[in-house]
Chains A and B, each alone.
Chain A
Amino acid sequence: MTFIYLVLFGFVATAVLGLITSWIDRKVTARVQYRVGPPFLQPFYDIVKLLGKETVIPAGASRGVFLVAPVIGLAGVIAASTLFWVNQFFSDGFMGDWIVAVYLLTVPSLSIILGGFASRNPLASIGASREMKLVIAYELPFILVALVPVINAHSIRLSEIINIQANGGVFAGSLSGILALIVAVLCVQAKLGLVPFDIPEAETEIVEGPLVDYSGPGLAIFRLMKNMLLFTLPFFLIILFFGGFRFSGLNILWTVLEYVGIVAIITVIRNTNPRVRIDQAMNFFWGPMTLLAIVAIILAAKGL
């Protein structure tokens, strides 16, 4: 049974939905720029093509870590999304699975840092060190706002958080919830490495940063991991603030609207902003975002 959750939901469903989401992202970006954009199956072709290419290992790279890093990241995303799917369909979570979810969602960033440093490329090293700073910057407000639903639900179990919202209204309807949601969407933007927080990848200055020396299957797994995150992180936000996916009657429409809404906000932010510097990103997350998160927590503790 665990195998079915892990492979069918954690990997296949998440990968397909993530790739479709990345197509929506690219298509919307193209339409914003008055272009036609890629065909529907484009993300699938990209992954299949990369899987069929040669793997070039740079001279002097740390072979083992270089090859294992993408797999670690993918495993992290699969584990996180499996946890969410299980809590979505069955109340089979365990005590404290919220902590495990936050922990597992950090693993992809760590794998990118590992891969970047292992490839022994100066650009990759710069990218990896920027990624490390960015993780330090956004994790603080992200964990703080993810605490708001925990305070509201008086439980650290994801299934409890979903159940309470199913019975007594979603947390995004309260003042603390809406504040927390705003901060969370911006943190997700940085977690996904999208503009304005694509500082580690910065295509125009350090050509894809940590991924610069990856080719073939390694790059394919990293891209798949990022596309799966593009589904998993909005899914996490929907569980925390909208009470998870609901499939009964008219609620399907609401679920689709919530998901597409979050993805659309992320895409619009990505298309209307320039890239910031790493120190600006750090000031932004440790300054205004952390303050807003603390305000949201105080409001939640007062029951607002």
Chain B
Amino acid sequence: MSLKLKALLKSPWVFHLSTGSCNNCDIETLDCLTPRFDIERFGMLLTGSIKHADVLLITGSCNRMSVVRLKELYAQVPQPCLVVAIGTCAASRGIFKDSYNCPLPLDKIIPVDVYIPGCPPKPEAIIAGVVKLIEKVGSAK
């Protein structure tokens, strides 16, 4: 494994983006930052600016209004960047599958690296998902 990739996996800074979720997944995502779960153990930090991010955490069902913003933000991320879909809505649109307002699932808009299902997924599930992502990327190259 190259030093560059190793450093990326040791300090993945996350950017949290909601594309019209019911906020439940967002609350569970923020739970990961609390002292009980403490993702800084893995070197993860929550960044406020998309320019500092290595991992995009995306929640919600990608409605028409937010798809434009999502594409705009994805174009601004400095590469290499990984995308995590959190919750059933982000993974497959969930109960909004036939909604007029959710034309496309997330993985048809931008490439997704890992899906974390659940409505909402537990913080443990989110951390397990991100750790699996790190293992997958680490063993692939």
Contacts and interface: CB of A to CB of B under 8 A. Distances in A.
Contact of A212 (B43, B49, B78): B49
B140 interface: no
B43 A53 contact: no
A35 B35 contact: yes
A92 to B, nearest CB: 37
Nearest to B51: A215
Interface stretch (A12-20, A37-45, A187-195): A37-45
Given A37-B41, A38-B41, A42-B43, A52 B7 contact: yes
A213 B51 contact: yes
Contacts, number: 78
A99 interface: no
A170 B51 CA distance: 47
A67 to B, nearest CB: 14
B95 interface: no
B11 A45 contact: yes
B79 interface: yes
A207 B7 contact: no
Contacts of B51: 56, 212-215, 219
Contact of B7 (A36, A39, A48): A48
Q: By DSSP majority rule, is chain A's interface helix, strand, loop, or mixed?
A: loop
B10 A54 contact: no
Given A45-B11, A52-B8, A54-B78, A208 B48 contact: yes
B26 interface: no
B contact residues, range: 20 to 34
B40 A215 contact: no
B11 A219 contact: no
A42 B11 contact: yes
B69 interface: no
Interface in B63-78: 76, 78
Which interface residue of A52, A213, A214 has the most chain B CB atoms within 10 A? Answer: A52
A46 B9 CA distance: 10
Contacts of B11: 42, 45-46, 49
Interface string A165-180: 0000000000000000
Given A46-B11, A52-B4, A213 B43 contact: no
14 contacts: A34-B35, A35-B41, A37-B41, A38-B43, A48-B3, A49-B7, A54-B80, A208-B48, A212-B51, A213-B49, A214-B51, A214-B52, A215-B78, A216-B78
Interface of B: 3-4, 6-8, 10-11, 35, 38, 40-41, 43, 47-49, 51-52, 54, 76, 78-80
